[in-house]
Structure 1
Amino acid sequence: MTETESEVMLAQESQRHTYLQALGVQSWLPRGALPYAAPSAPWVEAFTWPPTERFEQWGDAFDDTPAEAAATEQQAAPVTPAVNAPRGVSRALESLQGIFAPEGTSSQKVPALAQTPPVSSETTSPVSALDMSYQPERVAPLQNPLAERYPEPQFSLVLIKLGELLIVDSLPPQGRQSFSPAHIRFVSALARSLGVQGYEINPILHHWPAFVGSALNQGPDEALRSVRRQLGNLLKSQEIKRVLLLGEASAQWILEQPEPLDSLRGLRFSLRAGVAAVSSHSVTALLRIPELKAELWADLQPLLAART
């Protein structure tokens, strides 16, 4: 890298730090060699912050010429940016010197930088009118009937897509039990009883809470949003026509109903147009209590009717 290229890189880095400082962001750049890291460019060792007067001569190196500015305005879409970025290092520093001047120091006492004629534009506001009042977008509260019953929800769902059939099973949340080979064999036999076969079973596990940590919002609204996202991604396939919900957690969080499983079993619900859903006992319960299979078969009748 030549000396001129190094100075250009220093000026560009200074401009980037100016923008970041204006936004209240403090950035860091390694000044020494790090173990097992790739070597830094030669200009890194010479970089200093805050900028010194050696950048003034390069202040206008990044200013757009009038011809370039006109060409850019003709090619760009007519969109007015929320924050108008300053043109060049010199004008960026000039607009910010009043902000970063030491306390009790008038901005007029700061050495004047190279003056650049302002660019007149009806849609471009002055550089000094930087909008520093950004507020993060608030997430709208949900109409969540499960929030009162489950203020700290814990559940584990298993989603299995088999052609036009989607099976969502509930696992015991304690210890995050895995979907065992016995579970897979039972689901395969259950799918055949519904007239679906020839598909490979690839279970998708959906645990909640997703992470461990009190600093993260993992309440009922976030839990419902996560289930909606997972279900929405699967229902993007227009192939799915029937949904079987096994276990209380599956029925409640997919149907968004706070009632216990016994109140939801065997009823036909519509997740969306052309997609029927029924609920019954979980695979874990069916494996432990074989007598429940008779109730499962009775609960499946609305899905069998939906197939014809």
Structure 2
Amino acid sequence: MIPELRRRAYLSAMQVANWLPRVALPFAAASRPELLTPLEPAREVLELEEVAPVAPAVAPATTIEHPLALERPKVEVPRPSAVPRVSVKPEVPDEAAPEPSPAKPVPQPPPRFALQLLRAGQCVLLVELPTGEPFTSRDPAYLLLKDLLRAAGLPDSPQLIGEPVRWPLLVRGNLDQGPQAALEYVQGFISARLEEESACACLWLVGLPAVRFAGEAGAEAYNRELQIDELGSAWALPGLELLMDEPARKAELWQAMRRVMRRWQQSQVESTNE
């Protein structure tokens, strides 16, 4: 059985204004006297032409007073339910959780190039081998190189310094042969050869692989002077194949050569005076 206050709330929600129980309800308030007054019986009205039956009114059910109904309603104190309440705590980030490890860098494929180190007078040349093989006397690229040396006032028969540097060094294996490894190897190779040779007034870097892996620069450095740690002053030149394919580059190269020539010309004068 439900208490009186909750019962009235249910009846109000169902829009029931007056109601009478069939039996005495425990903990219920006493009924109002005006609700217990019996209603008069409905009369049937007979007409001559038409007899319209009238539905009899439903008499309210007579309530039976129970001794408990006269008592004062008791207030039921809600008791705690047997089912424990589950309290939801806000999630707190775990400070001790390890941070995700950074992704390992993807190894870059090894570059492919061949370089030859030459000496012409007071200058040392690191020249890209267009075919990957050493120059021959009838090679068009070698003939163009001889023309450049004569225009610079240097001997046109350069001397070979060591074997060509071919990269990658190994065809197979797990050794790192990426761009950074190639740069360190080329710079170390040139530094070791320069220590064995006499003074170098200027290092020529002929071709993009020479400029990139010895001068740490790109094609934008063509015809410019570079200052390289442990290697000294250098001059970046386009590749011999590129000069043959694009002859218009020779004019810009000649203008740059006129500015750089003072380095080895002054060195030649000093060596002659000694």
TM-score, L = length of structure 2: 0.49
- Greater Rg, structure 1 or structure 2? 2
Instruction: Specify which structure has the higher proportion of helix.
Output: 1
TM-score, L = length of structure 1: 0.44
